[in-house]
Amino acid sequence: MIRAQPPWRESWKRTRTRSGEAPTKKEFVREANQICADAKRRIAPISDATAAKIDDEDALGAATELRKGLPIADEFLGQMRALTPPKGDVDIVAEYLDIVGKQKERIRPLAEALEAEDISGIEVLAAELKQGNQRAQRLARGYGFPKCGPGAYRGYAP
């Protein structure tokens, strides 16, 4: 099965460093880790508030908090996609960003399930998020994104 390439991936072929070359892995990881650290710093209070709302069995409050993270996720993905991966690393970086993008797309349906008090929907989406977080963390850790790996995604988990 041939998988369609995301449109942002095409720009990676055109984007280069100032010298005209693709960045080294060290340069790329340094920039990516800065982006991840900033996103984690901004999302941490939202994650904490979401967890507190869930602990308090405040589904509507949890849904509201979850939605607050969407603009941060959009900004994170935009910044990461604007980076050019080193030669030979395009596939693994694209896979990581695809997973993170899918994770972001699960947030709105989870918020809606919380609002509707749809327990089975919440359980399914929460399990998918947990599984996706684990995959993203493994890829990040394996590639060398310490700031994007474990603990980077503290969102809803049952």
Q: Residue 75 belongs to a domain with what CATH number? A: 1.20.1440
- Percentage of the residues of the chain whose pLDDT score is greater than 90: 73
pLDDT value of position 157: 40
Q: Please give the tally of structural domains in the chain.
A: 1
Q: What's the pLDDT at 148?
A: 84
CA pair distance 149, 36, nearest whole angstrom:
9
Task: Specify the pLDDT at position 158.
Answer: 34
Is 50 exceeded by the pLDDT of residue 2? no
Residue-number span of the structural domain to which 126 is assigned: 27-143
- Indicate whether 133 belongs to any domain: yes
CA distances from 11 to 20, 85, 90 (A): 14, 11, 11
Band of the pLDDT at 18, cuts 50, 70, 90?
Answer: low
Mean pLDDT of 7-20: 50
Asked if residue 9 is part of any domain, the answer here is: no
11 within domain boundaries = no
pLDDT digits 0-9 by tens, 36-90: 999 999 999 999 999 999 999 999 999 999 999 999 999 999 999 999 999 899 9
* Within a domain: 139: yes
Residue 91 domain-assigned (yes or no): yes
46 is a domain residue: yes
Task: Tell whether 1 is covered by a domain.
Answer: no
Give domain status of residue 130, yes or no. Answer: yes
